[in-house]
Amino acid sequence: MDQKYYPEPVVGAFIINAKNQLFLAKSHKWGNSYVIPGGHIEIGEKIEDALVREVKEETNLDISDPQFICLWEFIQEKEFIKKKHMIFLDYVVHTNGDQVILNEEAEEYVWVDKNEVFTLPLEKYTKMTLERYAEEIFR
């Protein structure tokens, strides 16, 4: 019998600090583009719980006030290291933290303001979200 594969739900966090700057990390999984932290929702895990867990695992930051902003569907595109079908659920969150500790998924990180964010090499979906929802993200 053939194994069936299904889309994978993934959460992503547009993290804003007290200076109204956005956290972005450079990731080898996304062709060394800048991305937001996030990852897969585990079986039995609530979406917002996955968001908090993934951000903590990838950045060591504590976040609050999650606000859903958009959903994207990614179907086996070349930007990601593996061929997958993922459904991205993106949120804006806030942090008062500044002690970033990256895990193995990122090489470096930056905090950027609204005026400089588009000067970076952004991953396609991060860029699309910022282009469409920048006013909501940088309130």
Q: How many residues does the chain have?
A: 139
Give the model's pLDDT for residue 80. Answer: 53
Domain ranges of the chain: 8-137
**Mean pLDDT value across the chain:** 92
Structure tokens at 94: 């806030």
CATH class of the domain at 8-137: alpha beta
Give the model's pLDDT for residue 13. Answer: 98
Check if the beta carbon of residue 34 is closer than 8 Å to that of residue 24.
yes
Given a cut of 90, is residue 15 above it in pLDDT? Answer: yes
For 106, list phi and psi in degrees, rounded to 5. -130, 150
CA distance 106 to 118: 19
Q: Strand 85-94 relative to strand 38-40: parallel, antiparallel, unpaired?
A: unpaired
Write down the number of H helices and E strands in the chain.
Answer: 2, 7
Check if the beta carbon of residue 91 is closer than 8 Å to that of residue 66.
yes
CA distance 100 to 58: 9
Give the model's pLDDT for residue 134. Answer: 95
Structure tokens at 68: 């859903």
- 116-136 pLDDT per residue, tens: 999 999 999 999 999 999 999
- 20-77 pLDDT per residue, tens: 999 999 988 878 899 999 999 999 999 999 999 999 999 999 999 999 999 999 887 6
Share of the chain above pLDDT 70, in %: 94
In the numeric block, the tokens 């920048």 are attached to 134
- 66-96 pLDDT per residue, tens: 999 999 998 876 665 556 788 999 999 999 9
Give the model's pLDDT for residue 82. Answer: 57
**pTM value?**
0.92
DSSP code of 2? P
